Each structure stands twice: as structure tokens, then as C-alpha cells.
Amino acid sequence: MAIVFEKTKGLTDKPFHYCPGCTHGIIHRLIAEVMCEMDVLDNTVGVSSVGCTYNNYEYFSCDMVQASHGRAPAVATGLKRCLPDRMVFTYQGDGDLASIGTAEIVHAAARGEKITTFFVNNAVYGMTSGQMAPTTLLGQVTTTSPLGRDAETRGYPINVSEMLSTLQGAVYIERVCLTDYKNIQAAKKAIAKAFRVQQQGLGFSMVEFLSTCPTNWGKEPVEAMEWLKENMIPQYPLGVFKGKDLEV
């Protein structure tokens, strides 16, 4: 009988531990599918970071390195400089990348490191139970902004893609979401483009994924997806911030 659908070989058989309604699983599958379609699974080293995806080295079936909090771009720099013909990617959340790891991501991008960063922005710290992240929206209630994030005492959200796109070493930066089939397909295209930018040695590439965290947002999965559309996209507009006209 003909096989009409099978799980991508880019993922192992280990079941995901992610909460219902979380989009990490979709992002993992898209990255894994792209690695297989580009035939680079055998030639890729990924870097896991700290947060809900600390152990995604158990899910991706390529070589993987687990990095300390925020330092994945530095670890990836060390890997890529030693292995210039391999694909190297980091997978980082917003606490990891936009808070403790700002120095590492800014300088990796500024150096034009030929790595790809997958940045998952769900506006909250997931694993440590819903604290305010640098990406938390104004007014958003978290365990460390129980009255809602106020700019006066807690500052403003950081738009990472816009910020990094000002750097000369950053070649391709796009923000996507995963709210429906169309957007998921667009996200997959962005992943493939980011990998091609790296493959062609053009410089630093990053895809930012707006993601849901129903558990820490205190919402049902469907409700969380609606909340993302209504609240996150106005603060974090989708689109290509760097490399729009880049043909790769």
C-alpha cells in the first residue's frame, strides 16, 4: 500500500512534552521537515537553549548541543567557526534570547555569523511558570507583573526582529506566526530561506515565531490563538525586516 503520510525523519520517535495548544511542536516539525527536504539533516548541528525546549536535542534527529541560558549564539559561533560547511542553528525562547542572552544574539548577528536562529516569542517565561519576559505586552498579567505590565516600573516590550535588522551582519530576518495553514506554510518558507542564506554563506539569519503559551496565559488553546492574533500581532507585526528582496 502506498504511504500517503509519514512523520518526518528529522524528528525522533520521542513524544513531545509540550502543553496542549503550544506551538513549539509545529515549529519543531517545520524545522525538521525543511532539514529533510534540503537534505541537510546529516550535516546539521543544532543548539538547544534553556526554557521549555531545553531538551529538544531529544526530538531533533541531527547532532545537538545543549547550551546554557542565553548563550546559544556563542556556542553556535564556536561550532560554526570549527565546522564552516555544516548547518548550525539555535532554537531559543524569548526569556533566553531577549533577556539574559541579548549580548550573545546582538554580537552574533553583528559579526554576521553564518548561523540561523529560530526565536520563539510567546511573550512570557514558560518553563519557570509564567514570569514577565522582555517581550511581555503592556498590560499583560504575568506572575511577576500581577497587575499587568506597566511601562513606568517594568519598561516596554522589545521588538527583537526590528532591533536586529539594524545590524549590517544580519542578512535575513522575518517574523511569522502559526495561527492557520497559510501562516504555517509561510513560516516553513521562512525557515527554508533562513537555511539557504546560511548555506550560501551570506551571514546571520533569524526567523521569529509568535507562539502561544495557553498554560501560562491561562487560556484554552483556541482562545490563546485568538489572543495572539488580537494582542501580539499589533505589537509584533509579521513580515520580513531584513532581506526582503534577497533571492536565495
Contact residues: another protein, CB under 8 A: 41-45, 47-48, 54-55, 57-58, 60-68, 71, 74-83, 86, 103-104, 106-107, 111
Q: Given CA atoms 156, 91, 87, 29 in this order, what sign does their dihedral have?
A: negative
- Residue closer to another protein, measured from CB, 70 or 214: 70
CB-CB contact of 109 with 167 (8 Å): yes
Q: Given the complex with another protein, which of 30 and 109 has the nearer CB atom?
A: 109
- Least separation in angstroms between CB 76 and another protein: 6
Give the nearest distance from C-beta 112 to another protein in angstroms: 12
Q: C-alpha cell of 20?
A: 496542549
φ/ψ (deg, to 5) at 43: -125, 20
- Give the integer Cα–Cα distance in Å for 139 and 167: 30
- CB-wise, 158 or 210, nearer to another protein? 158
Identify which of residues 67 and 133 has a Cβ nearer to another protein in the complex. Answer: 67
Q: How far is the CB of 223 from another protein (least distance, A)?
A: 30
3-state helix, strand, coil in the chain (%, to 5): 40, 20, 45
Quick one: which of 45, 65, 41, 187 has its CA closest to 120? Answer: 187
Question: Measured from the CB atom, is 163 or 233 closer to another protein?
Answer: 163
- Length of the chain, in residues: 248
Cβ 20 to another protein, closest distance in Å? 21
Q: How far is the CB of 87 from another protein (least distance, A)?
A: 8
DSSP conformational letter for 27: H
DSSP 64: E
- Radius of gyration over alpha carbons of the chain, in Å? 17
Hey, what amino acid is at 47?
A: V
Cβ 101 to another protein shortest distance, Å: 10
* Closer of 83 and 233 to another protein (Cβ): 83
